[in-house]
Chains A and B, each alone.
Chain A
Amino acid sequence: MIEFQHVFKSYGRGRNILADINFRIEPGEFVFVSGPSGAGKSTLLKLIGGLEPASRGSISVNGRRIDQMPPRARPYLRRAVGVILQDTHLLYDRNAMQNVMLPLTVIGLENSVAVTRSRAALEKVGLLGKEDMKPIELSGGEQQRLAIARAIVNRPSILIVDEPTANLDQDTARRIMEVFRDFNRVGVTTLIASHDRALMASYATRTLRIDAGRFTDMQGVAA
């Protein structure tokens, strides 16, 4: 469950990137966050992932108030939230397997178990057989899928994804969206930021629209 109550976000004394945001997402929902570039979609996702603090208001994720959470507790929240940012943030000096294994290394999982789970994650995104390849040797779509494998290897209950299909051709975009759909079908709450109207029309059951920091909740429609 994700709940925002009167959330504001600004940087320094600048204007509000997000202003008075209120919504609630139930477990297992598949939700799009739409809006033009610079509307605050990425900021919203970062607030959910605990990557940035809100300026005001309360944010609850999985029943815990992350705005009241001490900084040392936030890493434990991030382990339950798979984050895939627009820039995939892959480690280019490590191979695909090592990239996927990182979240498991962070939690101190035994190496053999980590390898097994990482292989399973790579298989889910169709990258099995490319474990030894460096990200630079993979195509844009494959890099995106590698980032997905890394986000889901820790079996998160929430997946937040920022512009997953930007710069990808239609077929690749559709395959990646199917991967998210599959995770959602097994109960993973999925929140995707996108400004691709066609994509949202195909998949959305609910869309949260942000424009200039203001917010509209459109249940059951594509914005």
Chain B
Amino acid sequence: MRRWLRHHRYAFLVAVRRLLSQPFSSLSNMLVIALTLATPILTASILISAQPVARQVSVSPEVTLFLKPDAPSSTAQQIAARLQADYAEKISAVRIAPRAQIYSRLKQDPAWADALAALPGNPLPDAVVITLKEQPDLARDAAALVQEWKKWREVDRVQHDSAWVQRLDAILGFVRVGLSMLAAVVALVVLATVFNTVRLQALSQREEIAVARLVGATEAFVRLPFLYLGALTGIVSGVAAVILAALALTPLNAALARLASSYGTQLALQLPDALSLALAVVVVAILGALAARWSVTRNTRF
């Protein structure tokens, strides 16, 4: 066990020495990986920060049925009763918005009063506002119900008040796919960069590797410093990527805060939680070590 630890300590120190012996080259490689990794971290930040917005809005999805203007006043009552009877499983509440009530409320609003005064009568239809029950596949269910209710004879138009949430969900889905592709790009960049770094290191350490083999070093002994080199490159790059992403969030959040305040709300992007970030760094370190192993196996056959 102590011998094993001594080997690892030796390999670690050799890897650090090799990194420090070519500081500019090492830093350049790390910067490339860090910048590449910072992009999906920022994308994840946007995804994580936007998801609660969609979730929060979709807790009370409403569908409004606007009845035909010539429909008798009892029609709204009949439709409300029909909805409660036939769709009890999917509906949590039904509310009638009588045209007269809405008209008088709008007339009290100075923004609408003048426009309404110019009209010969009440142009508004009766409306039935339906609150749907929360369920896992709400967006798809709501869309199906909207299509069904549009066909009703008494109904003139159906407004799905949470349709924009669906759009947001679709955008987030798109971003999620984009994030997966970015993660794949990061993996490729890590593999290619570390592979090439280790290839150059292996070539420049040719003599040392030959001497180590001459005095009885196993292939594992020869490879271990390169594995540490790959893993260290991954760790340093990963940490640098998190720092870069955190730095980039400051101006982004300042701009976002101005935009959100114009809508009377507050919104700020947040980095993924510490565990996810640590996991990302570990994954990059493992990828670095794997690339190093692949490279050193291919490039030290002499």
**Chain A residues engaging chain B, CB cutoff 8 angstroms:** 49, 51, 71-72, 75-79, 83, 85, 89-91, 102-103, 105-111, 150, 154
Q: Is B211 an interface residue (CB 8 A)?
A: yes
Q: Is B117 an interface residue (CB 8 A)?
A: no
- Measured CB to CB, the closest approach of chain B to A158, in angstroms, equals 13
A75 contact from B210, B211, B216, Cβ within 8 A: B216
Question: Across the interface, do B213 and A75 meet the contact criterion of CB distance under 8 Å?
Answer: yes
B207 contact from A72, A89, A106, Cβ within 8 A: A89
Q: Is B217 an interface residue (CB 8 A)?
A: yes
Q: Is B221 an interface residue (CB 8 A)?
A: yes
For A107, the chain B residues whose CB sits under 8 A away are 3, 216
Q: Provide 27 A-B residue pairs closer than 8 Å at the C-beta atoms, listed in order of the A residue.
A: A51-B214, A71-B219, A75-B213, A75-B216, A75-B219, A75-B221, A77-B216, A78-B213, A78-B214, A78-B216, A79-B216, A89-B210, A89-B214, A91-B208, A91-B211, A102-B212, A103-B216, A106-B212, A106-B215, A106-B217, A106-B221, A107-B216, A108-B4, A108-B7, A110-B6, A150-B215, A154-B215
Question: Across the interface, do A72 and B219 meet the contact criterion of CB distance under 8 Å?
Answer: yes
**Chain B residues engaging chain A, CB cutoff 8 angstroms:** 2-4, 6-7, 10, 207-208, 210-219, 221
Given contacts A108-B7, A110-B6, contact A91 B207 (CB under 8 A): yes
Question: Across the interface, do B217 and A75 meet the contact criterion of CB distance under 8 Å?
Answer: yes
Question: Across the interface, do B218 and A102 meet the contact criterion of CB distance under 8 Å?
Answer: no
Centre residue among B2, B211, B215 by max chain A CB count within 10 A: B215
CA distance A107 to B221 in the complex (A): 9
For A71, the chain B residues whose CB sits under 8 A away are 219
A79 contact from B6, B7, B215, Cβ within 8 A: B215
Question: Across the interface, do A102 and B215 meet the contact criterion of CB distance under 8 Å?
Answer: yes
Decide if the interface of chain B is mainly helix, strand, loop or mixed.
helix
Centre residue among B2, B216, B219 by max chain A CB count within 10 A: B216
For A109, the chain B residues whose CB sits under 8 A away are 6
For B208, the chain A residues whose CB sits under 8 A away are 91
For B10, the chain A residues whose CB sits under 8 A away are 105
For B2, the chain A residues whose CB sits under 8 A away are 110
For B216, the chain A residues whose CB sits under 8 A away are 75-79, 103, 106-107, 154
CA distance A79 to B221 in the complex (A): 14
- Measured CB to CB, the closest approach of chain A to B190, in angstroms, equals 29
For A106, the chain B residues whose CB sits under 8 A away are 212, 215-217, 221
CA distance A75 to B214 in the complex (A): 8
- Measured CB to CB, the closest approach of chain B to A212, in angstroms, equals 27
For A103, the chain B residues whose CB sits under 8 A away are 215-216
- Measured CB to CB, the closest approach of chain A to B56, in angstroms, equals 59
Centre residue among A75, A78, A83, A105 by max chain B CB count within 10 A: A75
A89 contact from B211, B217, B218, Cβ within 8 A: B211
- Measured CB to CB, the closest approach of chain A to B176, in angstroms, equals 45
CA distance A105 to B3 in the complex (A): 10
CA distance A6 to B82 in the complex (A): 101
For A108, the chain B residues whose CB sits under 8 A away are 3-4, 6-7
CA distance A140 to B214 in the complex (A): 21
Centre residue among A49, A71, A105, A110 by max chain B CB count within 10 A: A105
